Amino acid sequence: MKNKYGSLIFTLILFFSFVVLLFSSVGYPGKAKLFPLIIIPLSLILLGIEIFKDILAIRGKREAQKTDQGEKSGETSRGFWDAILWIVISLFGSLFFGFVVAFFLLPLVYSRTHKERWSTSILLSLSCGVVFYIIFGYVFDMRLFEGFFFTLFFQ
């Protein structure tokens, strides 16, 4: 493992940031606090598992298998930059087109760039969009951000 402690430190920073977010979201009014109170504890569980795995790796209980995963060939750094690119695309897609369009469009584009079949891509895209629309539009009764494009040109 190249940097055993870097991953643990980063995960601990994320964990404590999410704890702060959890306590700050308790003070949100009514329905605004429902989503954070569902997502943040789930994220804390996943981060806790990752912290446990990092501690085991530091203690030598787990063998590092990075060479089998392509670290020598540069696939790890390429995967990192691919993830950063998708985060940026998601952010700007949501800001420009709004959340409803992004929930339909981003899974479609992502699955197609990873060479999924059209039928699988469309089904995944529709499933994500419908689930998020039902959760936010009907269960939480929240209006989602419509994006700068629709705000400027259609209102």
Question: pLDDT digits over 57-99, tens only?
Answer: 888 755 544 444 445 556 667 777 777 788 788 888 888 888 8
Q: Model pTM?
A: 0.51
Each residue of 96-114: pLDDT tens digit? 888 878 888 888 888 888 8
Cα 131-134-139 angle, rounded to 5 deg = 130
Q: How many angstroms from the chain centroid is the CA of residue 54?
A: 20
What's the token pair of residue 128? 């994500």
